[in-house]
Structure 1
Amino acid sequence: MDVLQDYLTRARASGGVFARSVADPPWGLRLPGTIQLAVHAVVQGRAWLWLDDPHAPVELAPGDLALVRGGPDHHLAHEPGATCLSPEQFRATHAGDTRTGGQPASVFLCGAYQFSGDVGRALVAALPPILPLSAAAGDALHDVVDLLSRELADSAPGKQTVLDRLLDVLLVLAIRACLQRSADPPRWYQASADPRLGPALSAMHTDAAHPWTVPELAAVSGLSRATFARSFHKTLGQAPLQYLTDWRMTLARDHLRAGALTIAQIATQTGYGSPYAFAAAFRRHHGHPPGQWRQQAVDRPAIDQPTTADH
């Protein structure tokens, strides 16, 4: 099991709204911080991206892209500090813009993603507020951006299916590049790349319901019990079985929130011998029984629900 793949699969990115814009300067676009994860790619011209401070912008050249995590509103414009319009105002203002004129138009792509549950929010939380990525010609990211731009400008049959697949590829490549280049990646990512810990971590993600023991996990990693426990705690900041419990609880919360499984089914999938054992463990972990927690999760906004950014 590829642990990053497990996160991506369980995060279930959806709502990949994407648009290709052509804008003659001056132009500026303001996007709300309620977008959980936005991606911007420049095809032609230049764009400047910033959060609260236009004096600290990120410049994007053709072929560059950036991921922007939800939080404050963010701004994309032809120059730092330009007046930025809402998406509706922007579309109305620049509906007739072309690639010709005194100053070359900017051509850029914007996408918005929503992730499901605590696993998805943990994945987004591992990203910085703004992550600029440069993709040279021949780089996979560059190729995908080029394909997206051409597909968005075309009206061939099956266009939406092609866009959906390309967006999935773009997102995975961008997140992978972020984690690979990060000076402080999440602990689970560091551990998954460690040949001493990766096998045990993969085993827990592959089969969270298995009654793992520390000696068993140590054997999977080819280490002594003491060496494995010490290395695991040093890298992940907690004992192996505590990590396993936290991961099981993360899965349980997502199952509870989705509402598709019964308490008994969730207990089985998360490694508890009975609904009663699961309910007791869940209450110890969260202070509420699972049924009550599920009702509260339904009643409160997703932004207020707990995340597991370190797992």
Structure 2
Amino acid sequence: MDLLGDHLARARASNAVFVRTVAAPPWGLRLAGSIQLSVHTVVRGRAWLWFDDESLTPVELAPGDVTLVRGGPDHYIGHEPGATWLEPEEFRACHSRDEYADDPRATVFLCGAYRFSGDVGSGLLDALPQVLPLSAAVGDPLRDVIGLLSSELATAAPGQPTVLDRLLDILLVLAIRTSFRQSPTAPRWYRASADPRLSAALQAIHEDAAHPWSVPELAGISGLSRAAFARTFREALGQTPMQYLTDWRMTLARDYLRNGELGLAKIAEVTGYGSPYAFATAFRRHHGTPPGAWRRQELAHTSNPLAAH
């Protein structure tokens, strides 16, 4: 197991959508900021991506490039920056057929939309910039996946939804991996997972959060003395091993509480607390409210669409 794979598995996206479109100028499309993560790539031609916020520079999309856009402000795609745009429903109605496929001015592009779940997913999204352009050189797996997506979307075929779902997963993993590898603001756990002095201990924590880990045991897994391990861990992650373990357990606990699939006794067990009382005490100390009350607040928030306004 690797930490990025673990985070992606726990943040499993839902209702993923991927659409291939052929459009000849003039054209434009608005995409709502409520989409948690959008993935855009051009197969043929050129397109531009821009925001209402003038501090965000328009991004030109060329064949082989992939651009991730995190939720927040609305964003737009068109044949040129500031082009007149349509809402998605109108746009699909106008560009539902490949009538411009032979037009040399036409752009063939793919748009994907992903929704992550829970605090693990939010942590992944928060580690990404608002807009992230990635260039896929010849031989880059990103380019290969884009080609496969385009071919699969060209015509309907048996099992196509499953194929598209898997290809979108692969595209997203490759894009996030490239982003984290290149970014100086990548999550600390990602950078630390590449450190041979820390990777084994981090994997152990993520594989079995319920285990009663201690600093000496984690240091032994890492092949370091207790003092050297504690110092290296704090320098890399900005907190002690036990603080990191508690934070990870609380992250898991919030997601378990939110989805409602486990009772408090089971959550206590899988997050390493000996009893529901011990778990409730730790949760209250960490969040200032008991787990039951926290879950009720979350349910009330998600059931009320005006709660965030």
2:190 is matched with which residue? 189
Q: Equivalents in 1 of 2:175, 2:15: separation in Å?
A: 17
Contact 1:24 1:94 in 2 (8 A): no
1:208 is matched with which residue? 209
Which residue type is aligned with residue 50 of structure 1?
W
- After superposition, give the CA deviation of every residue in 1:160-192 in whole Å (9 maximum; x if it has no partner): 111111111111111111111112211111111
1:36 is matched with which residue? 36
Q: Equivalents in 1 of 2:178, 2:146: separation in Å?
A: 15
Q: Equivalents in 1 of 2:10, 2:96: separation in Å?
A: 38
Shift of 1:304: 11
Shift of 1:15: 1.1
Cα RMSD (Å) of the superposition? 1.7
Q: Equivalents in 1 of 2:283, 2:184: separation in Å?
A: 34
- More moved, 214-223 vs 247-256: 214-223
Structure 1 vs Structure 2: percent identity of aligned residues? 67
- After superposition, give the CA deviation of every residue in 1:105-143 in whole Å (9 maximum; x if it has no partner): 111000100011000111111111111111122221101
Q: Equivalents in 2 of 1:12, 1:125: separation in Å?
A: 16
Q: Matched residue of 1:143: which SS?
A: helix
Q: Matched residue of 1:22: which SS?
A: strand
Shift of 1:104: 1.5
2:102 is matched with which residue? 100
Q: Equivalents in 1 of 2:257, 2:53: separation in Å?
A: 40
1:143 is matched with which residue? 144
Structure 1 runs not aligned, ≥5 long? 306-311
1:268 is matched with which residue? 269
- More moved, 263-272 vs 127-136: 127-136
Note the 1:159-308 alignment, pairs <5 A: 159-301=160-302
1:15 is matched with which residue? 15
Structure 2 runs not aligned, ≥5 long? none
TM-score, structure 2 normalization: 0.94
Shift of 1:99: 2.2
Contact 1:18 1:110 in 2 (8 A): yes
Q: Matched residue of 1:300: which SS?
A: helix
Aligned length: 304
TM-score, structure 1 normalization: 0.94
Note the 1:28-67 alignment, pairs <5 A: 28-53=28-53, 56-67=57-68
Contact 2:69 2:132 in 1 (8 A): yes
Contact 1:51 1:72 in 2 (8 A): yes
Q: Equivalents in 1 of 2:51, 2:118: separation in Å?
A: 25
Q: Equivalents in 1 of 2:249, 2:118: separation in Å?
A: 14
Q: Equivalents in 2 of 1:190, 1:279: separation in Å?
A: 32
Shift of 1:226: 1.0
Which residue type is aligned with residue 254 of structure 1?
D
